[in-house]
Structure 1
Amino acid sequence: MNIRKKWIIYGIGLPLVLGGCVNMDNANGNGVDEKKNTKDAVEDQSDRLVTVQEYNGEGFYLENGQENDKIAEANREEVEKAVTDFFLEQYKTDVEVHNIVGNVDGASVFVESIGKPNFHTYAVVPIDAKGKKILTDQVYSLEGEVENAITSGVYGLVYEDEFNELDKVLAEITSDYPFTGETTQAINNTKSFGFGNEYYFVSFFDMELSQQIVERYLENPDLSKEEIKELNLEKLNPKSINITIQLFKNKKDSNPTNEELDEIAKVIDEAEGLPYGAYNLLLHDNMIGKASGSGDKDNTVERADPDYIIKK
């Protein structure tokens, strides 16, 4: 799976480095190695999977982070303050801390911006494991991670009406077809995808324009839609803006079909008033991996890069 497709499926910036060394072969994007031996493959998976309706992020973890997770939880107030101060100082953004997960070097802290623009992202708080000390003066984010989340959030704000229309279309789809989205708790506790909700998230791939948006945001976090529209986002190649829709079957032991994929893709393709961009559509079964927070499996069906649904 190439890096662009990983971003499409799992959310901007989430793969590879949620604050530490991870296995480059893992496919879930959260540092969890899903390679299993033959015995594991045939064992009952009930202890590793949970229905999408029940999943709230419990059991989510990052590789080699168990010890640091304990240290971070024992010092939760200190970790939360360090992260909220970091976002306020570096990005002029008030955030709410949703989840703290130990990683090999410290703790990855999942946050959501307070107010608009709305986005999910994370920062890393290093930990001196030997001294069991929280290094509050060394908080950092992966290069481009928060910036991409901000750009995604600003795009969601500028096209707020169009995204409201997309929400209505997806609500109708999940009413007409046996599908549902993720829980709010799962999103808060396991995702760093920028702007999105239980059905979709937005990824921005024009780095030059992203930098312009972030610069304007840092100058004035309360910037208006009109100020951003001055950048002429409509002139972008729609493939520079990916809107990834992920739906889950609403009942156990039920797999998505290619027929359902084609029908739902047609509904989205024919819908009017949706946000500008290139749409990826992924249909999963009803189960999510507890540790990875991912629903992607061999039975997932998708219409994605390069076969986008283009909305202009």
Structure 2
Amino acid sequence: MNKKTKTLLCSVGISLLLGGCSDESEKTKETQAAPSEETKISVQDYTGEGYALPYGRVTDEIADKNLAQIEEAATSFFKEKYMTDVTVHNVVGAKDGATVFVESKGEPHFYTYAVVPIDELERKVMTERIWADEFQVENAIKGGLYSMIFKEEFNQLDDYFNSLAAEGKITGRTKESIQNVGGHGFSTPYYFISIASETSIQPVYELFMKNPDESAENLRKAFKDNSFSAENLFINIQLFMADPNAKPDKKLFDRIIKDLEEMTSIPRGSYSFVLNDHFIDKQSSSGMGDNSIDLVNDIIKE
């Protein structure tokens, strides 16, 4: 992935740790062991169990005893602030709080999260102070809207990855792992969308916030095609080898790149691509390893 994509993914992923890229990455080193054979699991078996955030042992225990209260607070928060009904899938303790992973009901479809502060000394969840990273949530919704108004193009992309999986070459993450440790906006087993400063989707987002029941047709009309920049909308592909004994296959990697470059009916955007082996780290939910093959320069589809 190029530098811009990596920076964006840092802001999306590390923000789950309740801090910035630099500060929390240092804390993570202190509190989470590096991936090892003991923490790796087949990507096809991984549901998110074992996922952990730094300094979350005590808050995780407190959150477990107050799940109903946390779930009610989260569903109310997203309904009132973002006009969206959500399902709470998982609650994970973190420093001074608990991260609540949610999935939207219906369209636009996306995954995101909120944070409920926790007082460890009082062993109390402060649901009245629930909050979310506005940039992350808004961009999760925008990603869902983008996939909604360009459904045919995304169907073409999905069909391609499903055909690869049917050949027995590759596999993706399980739906359960996306639900339980997601938070990456619009996500499928094979890729997720992340957005930078993309002005073309902003009118769509504003129309949706005014009327959540607006038709996909009208939302599509609000999209500003002329101002679209592929370099600001990332489609991040993460595939795994289907064979547990196989290392990432360079020939397969090159074939997929060639296919993507030649396809003309898939969504516009900047495509990054990583091919991993068959395993994922259950603590970090990352499939990246020493043998992963990473695309250097994104594939640009204007």
- 1:247 has 2:248 as partner: no
**Deviation for aligned residue 1:239:** 1.4
Contact 1:200 1:243 in 2 (8 A): yes
| Cα distance change on mapping 1:21 and 1:109 into 2, 3 Å | same
**Deviation for aligned residue 1:47:** 2.0
Q: Which residue of 2 aligns with 1:57?
A: 48
Which amino acid in structure 2 is aligned with residue 33 of structure 1? K
**Deviation for aligned residue 1:3:** 6.6
| Cα distance change on mapping 1:297 and 1:2 into 2, 3 Å | same
| Cα distance change on mapping 1:210 and 1:102 into 2, 3 Å | farther
- Aligned counterparts of 1:202 and 1:116: Cα–Cα separation in 2: 15
Q: Which runs of 5+ in 1 are unaligned?
A: none
**Deviation for aligned residue 1:24:** 4.0
Q: Which residue of 2 aligns with 1:277?
A: 269
- Aligned counterparts of 1:297 and 1:281: Cα–Cα separation in 2: 14
Superimposed CA distance per residue, residues 52-81 of structure 1 (whole angstroms, 9 cap, x where no aligned partner): 011110100100011000000101000000
Q: Which residue of 2 aligns with 1:82?
A: 73
- Aligned counterparts of 1:131 and 1:33: Cα–Cα separation in 2: 28
| Cα distance change on mapping 1:220 and 1:162 into 2, 3 Å | same
> Alignment partner of 2:99: what SS?
strand
Which amino acid in structure 2 is aligned with residue 4 of structure 1? T
**Deviation for aligned residue 1:291:** 0.5
- 1:185 has 2:176 as partner: yes
**Deviation for aligned residue 1:277:** 1.2
| Cα distance change on mapping 1:22 and 1:273 into 2, 3 Å | closer
- Mapping for residues 296-311 of structure 1, pairs under 5 Å: 296-304=288-296, 307-311=297-301
Superimposed CA distance per residue, residues 147-170 of structure 1 (whole angstroms, 9 cap, x where no aligned partner): 010000000100111111111111
Q: Which moved more, 1:145-154 or 1:18-27?
A: 18-27
Q: Which moved more, 1:160-169 or 1:269-278?
A: 269-278
Contact 2:119 2:125 in 1 (8 A): yes
Contact 1:162 1:275 in 2 (8 A): yes
Higher helix residue share: 2
- Mapping for residues 212-251 of structure 1, pairs under 5 Å: 212-235=203-226, 236-251=228-243
- Aligned counterparts of 1:4 and 1:277: Cα–Cα separation in 2: 12
- 1:33 has 2:29 as partner: yes
Task: Give the TM-score taking structure 1 as reference length.
Answer: 0.88
- Aligned counterparts of 1:253 and 1:153: Cα–Cα separation in 2: 35
**Deviation for aligned residue 1:21:** 7.2
Q: Which residue of 1 aligns with 2:280?
A: 288
Q: Which residue of 2 aligns with 1:175?
A: 166
Q: Which residue of 2 aligns with 1:69?
A: 60
**Deviation for aligned residue 1:16:** 3.6
Contact 2:17 2:54 in 1 (8 A): no
Q: Which moved more, 1:273-282 or 1:100-109?
A: 273-282
Select which of 84, 97, 111 maps to 2:88: 97
Q: Percent identity?
A: 36
**Deviation for aligned residue 1:136:** 1.2
Superimposed CA distance per residue, residues 230-288 of structure 1 (whole angstroms, 9 cap, x where no aligned partner): 34443312112111111101122321132221111111222232111121111001111
Select which of 104, 108, 115 maps to 1:113: 104
Q: Which residue of 1 aligns with 2:6?
A: 5
- Aligned counterparts of 2:146 and 2:157: Cα–Cα separation in 1: 14
Contact 1:123 1:139 in 2 (8 A): yes
Aligned residue pairs, count: 300
**What stretches of structure 1 move > 6 A for 4+ residues in a row?**
34-37
Task: Give the TM-score taking structure 2 as reference length.
Answer: 0.91
**Deviation for aligned residue 1:208:** 3.9
Q: Which moved more, 1:126-135 or 1:174-183?
A: 174-183
- Aligned counterparts of 2:171 and 2:187: Cα–Cα separation in 1: 15
